[in-house]
Chain A
Amino acid sequence: MNIDLTATTTRRIQEALTQARHQMGGPAVGMVLTLVIVTDESAQYDSLRAATEAAREHPCRVLTVISRDARGSSSRLDAEIRIGETGPGETVLLRMYGPLAGHADSVVVPLLVPDAPVVTWWPGQAPANPADDPLGALAQRRVTDAYAGLDRLGTLIQLDKSYTPGDTDFSWTRLTPWRTLLAAALDQKTPPITSVEVQAEPDSPSAELLAAWLGGRLSAPASRTTSGGPGITAVILQTADGPISVTRPDGRVATLARPGQPDRQVALHRRPMSELLAEELRRLDPDEVYHDAVSRFDRTYTAPPADAPQENNGQQRTRKRAGS
């Protein structure tokens, strides 16, 4: 069921939601959280699609906040309610015009699911301080994506500076399959790691975080080298017996090589946004391991010299990507 409300109020949106639920005999699933998506008109379709897919695992109310033209003196709120069509839960698109765009939280707060956690997600440019943002302040968990920023590594550094428990970033989420594979590799008896190398495309926040995490956990010097991508292409752990390496040149299949053992291959695909979001929604407690990694990155990172070949990345930066 689709309900369009123009020049409306939160009271009318609530009433419409209640009425829609009654007409449908009540949705079958209890909503476990409210997901607030802060986005713009151009990106709302993709992020909403990802949220709808993630909602299959985590039934939730999705509130999409779209700030329209903030100029002009008159405020207006348009709402579009989608219920029972795309999956469990409910979706409300909120379009805000005029001065109201600066007070989005006043619209969102009355529409939150009572007594359930709130997650705020910025699929585009992250705010400088997510926890301080009005829409971030009301959430238990704040999800950003440094990769979508104009200055990716700068965004990541800024996110560390403003870190508040509950913050997390997709560039960290994208690493989970890599980290799983590497941790599993070290479940077997392994000599001490003497150094770490992470090879990836330039300007990759995920690669920086992976290097920081490995360096920190293994207490070994970690270096970053660049390749043509896509995403992360190799991780090499040096040991006294020789290198343990995981290489993934094509973004699909990884090869695990250990000294004295045959090479083994495993699919290591880059995950779509819906899977990243579903992973984020699975745990709502602070991610301390992420904090360790991002703060280590911030401490140890030195910007490459100005003449480093970075010009041709301009196009990539604005493009949103699936996974690392």
Chain B
Amino acid sequence: MPSPAELIGIDGNPLRDPRDKRLPRVAGPSVLVLFGVTGDLSRKKLLPAIYDLANRGLLPPGFSLVGFARRDWENQDFRQVAYEAVKQHARTPFREDVWRHLSEGMHFVPGEFSDPGAFDTLALAVKELDETRGTGGNYAFYLSIPPKFFDVVVEQLQRSGLAEHSPESFRRVVIEKPFGHDLKSARELNNIVHRVFPEESIFRIDHYLGKETVQNILALRFANTLFEPIWNRSYVDHVQITMAEDIGIGGRAGYYDGIGAARDVIQNHLLQLLALTAMEEPTSFSAEAVRAEKAKVLSSVRLPEGDLGRSTARGQYAAGWQGGVAVKGYLEEEGIPATSTTETYAAIKLEIDSRRWAGVPWYLRTGKRLSRRATEVAMMFQKAPHLPFSHTETEELGQNALVFRIQPDEGVTLRFGSKVPGTAMEVRDVNMDFAYGESFTESSPEAYERLILDVLIGDPPLFPRQEEVELSWQILDPAEEYWAAHGRPDQYKSGGYGPKSSDLLMKRDGRAWRRI
């Protein structure tokens, strides 16, 4: 990646020196306006991440945070909520001084999204912050709200004049997935936001891309000589990208039903992981170059031709036991209609039409209520073309594998065969681990810290662009259409490894999923 100094433009600042690697990038004076502060995400992730940034000295003096929600709160109430969120979820130790100055900049504006008066109050509030805290007229709007409200919020921002800015100041808008539910709706959504904000000031958050291990995929691939020669169809047999969760839908019934696992996870996280793993080397690590390569590889990804029933699988979790606790099935969850056909598990097989990857299948799967929580990208290598050992000697030898463990326990595993000690020749798989380690991750920043800082600095490489969003929908839409026309998802046992149809999908190709 370019050195931090280059990113913020050192030209005017004599104190910045590319050799001076100790100096971190610090956001300029700004106000972050947070819509939907009462939500889970903002309590568990955003507010703690903002505190952690302040604690690390990466927020500017005078940084201000304005919460907007439909609550009858005073500033004090908001600060109290934020205080509890920080105390409970912040990564770094709590420091009274840091908190005091951060909380002084916290304000709350109550109101409905449809109420013009509330937005006028908001506009007055941020203007006042420019005066009292020197935030310089720079505003970032974080829309942590359901997409159905984007329309009205964006319109209100424009009407109240909040979206207008002088050439010296910035306006940025941050939106969270889902970016639509198919290609058409993604375009509509985009048009709504684009009416007011240009593409370069839209930041789409995919928090996976802020994770250290995901960025490490790029470092590992392009900073080493060891992996590039085998990173192609000559050595790779297939690739498995997995995101497994052990939890159910929790309280998100309203959001989840009708969306499902594929739209919720495959369209964004898994296809982004695929893009980073499969893409060609970018000309540089500038946002433009990386995005161009991602877009290129995504435009050559497609579902296999023929019967989609043979290259996709889906399921719904049934009642059962997960981790020693009796749990409900999906259809029995509160707020889910008994006739719902929303899938909680989805697996698809993809192909990439390129010289590098032709003939190498990419298997993507995600599911809820599986045996444990794990996200990984596994490159499975071909078996050795010839083994100078007998069949019995290599019975326990599997395929070589290189696995990026994204969460939990971030790291890289290399799996290869090794002789079992003893007089007989027997080869068995062993793992070689590189771990960021439990204690190591303690100090590595949360994804949201990195992403919020990038928004305030205006550094876009880790945010997907509209083109990538549309390409991802193009890949997934045929599968969604097929599922919509073909009955109900299979039921699978909670706490297991997903539906049988998913195992069959692999078995038809003579392969098997890695055990989660």
Whether B17 pairs with A88 at a CB distance below 8 angstroms is: no
Residues of A within 8 A of B434 (CB): 30
* Bound Cα distance from A219 to B62, whole angstroms: 29
Whether B14 pairs with A186 at a CB distance below 8 angstroms is: yes
B218 at the interface (CB under 8 A from A): no
B54, B61, B95, B104, most chain A CB atoms within 10 A: B61
Residues of A within 8 A of B302 (CB): none
Residues of B within 8 A of A258 (CB): 134
Shortest Cβ distance from A32 into B: residue? B440
Whether B61 pairs with A176 at a CB distance below 8 angstroms is: no
Whether A177 pairs with B57 at a CB distance below 8 angstroms is: yes
Whether A217 pairs with B14 at a CB distance below 8 angstroms is: yes
B29 at the interface (CB under 8 A from A): yes
Residues of B within 8 A of A179 (CB): 15, 20, 22-23
Q: Which of A28, A183, A218, A266 is within 8 Å of B61, CB to CB?
A: A266
Whether B134 pairs with A262 at a CB distance below 8 angstroms is: yes
Residues of B within 8 A of A181 (CB): 26, 57, 61
Residues of B within 8 A of A94 (CB): none
Q: Which of A29, A186, A283 is within 8 Å of B435, CB to CB?
A: A29
Residues of A within 8 A of B57 (CB): 177, 180-181, 266-268
Give the shortest distance, in Å, between B16 (CB) and chain A (any CB): 6
Whether A289 pairs with B443 at a CB distance below 8 angstroms is: no
A41 at the interface (CB under 8 A from B): no
* Bound Cα distance from A125 to B20, whole angstroms: 27
Known: A88-B437, A267-B54. Is A288-B14 also a contact (CB below 8 A)? no
A182 at the interface (CB under 8 A from B): yes
Known: A59-B437, A253-B101. Is A289-B17 also a contact (CB below 8 A)? yes
Residues of A within 8 A of B13 (CB): 183, 186-187
Give the shortest distance, in Å, between B180 (CB) and chain A (any CB): 36
Whether A262 pairs with B131 at a CB distance below 8 angstroms is: yes
B250 at the interface (CB under 8 A from A): no
Shortest Cβ distance from B60 into A: residue? A184
Q: Which of A180, A214, A265, A283 is within 8 Å of B21, CB to CB?
A: A283
* Bound Cα distance from A186 to B95, whole angstroms: 27
* Bound Cα distance from A278 to B57, whole angstroms: 16
Give the shortest distance, in Å, between B54 (CB) and chain A (any CB): 7
A242 at the interface (CB under 8 A from B): no
Shortest Cβ distance from B9 into A: residue? A187
B8 at the interface (CB under 8 A from A): yes
Give the shortest distance, in Å, between A171 (CB) and chain B (any CB): 13
* Bound Cα distance from A179 to B24, whole angstroms: 10
Shortest Cβ distance from A27 into B: residue? B437
Whether B95 pairs with A267 at a CB distance below 8 angstroms is: yes
B252 at the interface (CB under 8 A from A): no
Known: A252-B97, A258-B134, A289-B17. Is A29-B28 also a contact (CB below 8 A)? no
Task: List residues of B (5-54) whose CB comes within 8 Å of A's CBs.
Answer: 8, 12-17, 19-24, 26, 28-29, 54
Give the shortest distance, in Å, between A141 (CB) and chain B (any CB): 13
Known: A179-B22, A180-B57, A267-B97. Is A217-B17 also a contact (CB below 8 A)? yes
Known: A87-B439, A189-B12, A217-B15. Is A269-B22 also a contact (CB below 8 A)? no
The contact size tier of chain A is: 35 or more
Residues of B within 8 A of A287 (CB): 22
* Bound Cα distance from A182 to B17, whole angstroms: 13
A270-289 CB contact bits vs B (8 Å, 1 = yes)? 00000000110001010111
Q: Which of A88, A219, A279 is within 8 Å of B439, CB to CB?
A: A88
Whether B54 pairs with A180 at a CB distance below 8 angstroms is: no
* Bound Cα distance from A187 to B131, whole angstroms: 20
Whether B61 pairs with A265 at a CB distance below 8 angstroms is: yes
Residues of A within 8 A of B132 (CB): 262
Q: Which of B23, B29, B101, B442 is within 8 Å of A183, CB to CB?
A: B23
Shortest Cβ distance from B27 into A: residue? A184
* Bound Cα distance from A175 to B378, whole angstroms: 43
A222 at the interface (CB under 8 A from B): no
* Bound Cα distance from A265 to B61, whole angstroms: 6
Residues of A within 8 A of B22 (CB): 173, 176, 179, 279, 283, 287, 289
Whether B440 pairs with A56 at a CB distance below 8 angstroms is: yes
Whether A289 pairs with B20 at a CB distance below 8 angstroms is: yes
Known: A267-B95, A279-B22. Is A262-B62 also a contact (CB below 8 A)? yes
Give the shortest distance, in Å, between A193 (CB) and chain B (any CB): 8
In the assembled complex, 27 residue pairs joining A and B whose CB atoms fall closer than 8 Å, in A order, are: A28-B437, A30-B435, A56-B440, A57-B443, A88-B439, A176-B23, A177-B57, A180-B23, A181-B61, A182-B15, A183-B26, A184-B60, A187-B8, A187-B12, A187-B26, A193-B14, A217-B17, A218-B14, A255-B61, A264-B60, A264-B61, A264-B62, A264-B134, A267-B54, A267-B95, A279-B22, A287-B22
Given contacts A187-B12, A285-B21, 12 further A-B contacts (CB under 8 A): A181-B57, A183-B15, A187-B8, A188-B136, A193-B14, A262-B133, A264-B29, A265-B62, A266-B57, A267-B97, A268-B57, A287-B22
Query: Which 6 pairs of residues, A with B, have the shortest CB-CB distance?
Result: A264-B62, A264-B61, A266-B61, A29-B437, A184-B26, A267-B97
List chain B positions with a Cβ less than 8 A from chain A.
8, 12-17, 19-24, 26, 28-29, 54-55, 57, 59-62, 95, 97-98, 100-101, 104, 131-134, 136, 168, 433-435, 437-440, 442-443
